[in-house]
Structure 1
Amino acid sequence: MDVNVDWQGGLEFSSDLPSGYEITVDASEESGGNNNGPRPMELLLTGLGGCTGIDVVLILEKMKAELEDFKLEIKAERAEEPPKRFTKIHLNYKFTGKNLNERKVERAINLSETKYCSASSSLNAEITSSYEIVNTD
C-alpha cells in the first residue's frame, strides 16, 4: 500500500488514499495548528476500531448472528514523554441484537484480536477488551 501525504502549510497535511478518499489531518490550535482536521493519533484509534469492527461484523454474519447495532468504545493511555505512543488501549465492544450468543461474540472478538486485525498487530501497546450484549427479543 502506498500513500502520499502533502503538506498544506502550517501543520496541516492532506492525503489522497488508494481507496479514492481524501483526508486532511491537522494539529490543534493549542499545538500551533489550525484545527482543520482530525489529529493523527485520533485516526490511529479510529483505524483500530474500524479494523476490529469489520472483522467482528463479518465473523458474526458468518455465524448467522442477528446483529442490530454495534458500537466500540475505545479508551487509550499515552506515554508522558515523546514520542507519546499509546501504552494501553481498551476496546469495549457493545452489541445489540436478537438472541446473540455469548460464545459466538467471544469467538468473533478473539479471532479479530489474535488472527485478523492487522491494525492491532501493528501497535506496540497493551490492548485489552471487554464486551456487552443487549438481547432484543
Structure 2
Amino acid sequence: MKRIITVICLIIAFSVSAQTSIKAGNEAEISLNNLPDKQIKARMLTSGKIQNGSSLTFILSEPTSIAGVSTKKGQIISGIAREQDGRLYVDVSTVKIDGKVYPTKIKVYSENGIEGFGLSGRNPNSKKPIEISNSGTNAILMIY
C-alpha cells in the first residue's frame, strides 16, 4: 500500500513539475515577442522648464533604422513629456526623417534601464514646471 501511495505521489509531482516548466516556457515566449527591435543610445537636448505635454528632443548617438528607414548618427527624435508616479516619461509615436513623418513606437529609458527619468524630491501633485537642469542626459531608446 505504501508503495502504491509513493508511486502516485511521484506521478503527481512529475506531472505538476512538467506543467510548471511548460508554463514558464510559454511566458518566456510571450515576453520575447514584446522585446524591442533595437536599443539605441541617445542624448537629451532639451533643458529648462517643461510641463506635461512639452516636447523633449533627443539626438541619436549611432545610426539605425526606424520604421524601415535608415537614419544617421545625429538624427533628432522628439517626444511628448508625461509625468507619472515621480518619473518623467517620453511618448514617441512619430519620427521625422529627411522631411517625411513615419509612425513608430519608441520608449525612452534612463541609463539605469528604467523607463523614464526619475524626478527625485518632487511632490507628485506639484503643478510647478519640471526643471531639466542640463541637456546631454544620456538615454536609451527602445525601438519597437
Higher strand share: 2
Alignment TM-score, normalising by the size of structure 2: 0.25
Alignment TM-score, normalising by the size of structure 1: 0.26
Higher relative contact order (CA 8 A, sep 6+): 2
Higher helix share: 1
